[in-house]
Amino acid sequence: MTSILVTGGCGFIASHFLNYMVEKYPGTNFINIDKMNYCGNVKSVKVKECDNYTFFEVDIKDKEWVKNILESYNIDTIYHFAAQTSVDKSFKSPLLFTEENIVNSHIFLETCKKYNDGGGKIKKFIYVSTDEVYGESENNNQNEAVLNPTNPYSATKAAFELIVKSYYKSYNFPIIITRSNNIYGSGQYPEKVIPIFINCLLENKKCPIHGDGRIYRNFLHTSDVIKAFEKILFNGTIGEIYDIGSNDEIKIIDLAHLLISLLKPEDKKEDWVQFVENRDYNDLRYIVKNDKIEKLSWRKEKNLLEGLLETIEWHKSNPTYWKNNKENENENENENENENENENENNLFSDLNKYLFASIGKIKDDVNLNIYDVD
């Protein structure tokens, strides 16, 4: 593997992956494409000056740009991180998630397949999915073949997993899928629970708790998950699905109390929590199995307390890191929420129609179909 394309590389997890991999493997080229939406930040990539790193501000649905990058850099491996990932936003704008996580990702996958046709150029296409595709877990007898997503975000991730797997079966396309627990660490956009709680407490605001806070989540530090991605990159089996899990399960209310004890040790915990309206649906817990990833000699190394202390220090040192992004996000949400949803719907069906008619045209050209009426 000498030339790796990373999508969404200015996002939270992918930027950590690039920062780790680019310096560790100077003989490998890393090409980052990112359309730079509200939760992307070029500052998150610390390896911009490295000779083996290249960045393009490109949308994954831009077939010509993606095709040119694949060919110009002789891409042999793809790590597909790019996605809309906010569960709360997916309840408000589900069509946006369908467009971004299914339609645009499918356009990207098809472009990669066409580049690969007949030449075996791509060695691995690794799709970064989520534990949420399993839906609510009641025990650890998880069956990786059974998907039961319960919110629009996880449904779109599950849907694209099925498309990816179909390319493996239909076209022998060399795919791998990863499903991890909740990831946290430095540089995470403050729409996820840990950075939200830390920022609120640093700003002397209460932690907003969905419902009664008695849902469970497992948390995995970025330093651990990127090492799992490294193992999968070099040793993962084509066609396989790898869960990447943590044993740091904690109730959200207890997570808030833990952070309060670290940031407001003299205060009463109940003084710094505020219970807010629950999500339309909120899974009790997600459970994944680590047996496959552990066979690749991966083990989680950082415990939750250690990771939280490091993350708190980062937030203290970077209080305005996301200021401009947050202001832009708030403006768009407040002024254009309904307009954007209508636009997403129009764009979605426009893209689907263009893709459909282009495909029909190609079929007619390829097999020289005769169209006629049947009495």
Query: Active-site positions?
Result: 131-132, 153
Note whether 109 and 167 are within 8 A (CB): yes
Residue 127: its H or E element: strand 124-130
Rounded Cα–Cα distance for residues 14 and 7 (Å): 8
Six-digit token string for 209:
């708790």
Give the 3-state secondary structure of residue 298. coil
Rounded Cα–Cα distance for residues 73 and 29 (Å): 8
Rounded Cα–Cα distance for residues 133 and 310 (Å): 29
Closest CA to 180 of 326, 309, 287, 41: 287
In this structure, what are the phi and psi dihedrals at residue 17, rounded to the nearest 5 degrees? -60, -45
Give the 3-state secondary structure of residue 354. helix
Note whether 245 and 218 are within 8 A (CB): yes
Give the 3-state secondary structure of residue 241. strand
Place of tokens 């401009």: 324
Q: Is the dihedral of CA 285, 290, 293, 297 positive or negative?
A: positive
Note whether 98 and 105 are within 8 A (CB): no
Six-digit token string for 235:
């040793």
Strand 77-80 to 53-56 pairing: unpaired
Place of tokens 């996880």: 154
Sheet holding 216-221, edge to edge: 182-184, 216-221, 249-251
DSSP string, 23-91: HH-TTSEEEEE----TT--GGG---TT-TTEEEE---TT-HHHHHHHHHHTT--EEEE------HHHHH
Residues 6+ apart with CB under 8 A from 257: 269, 273
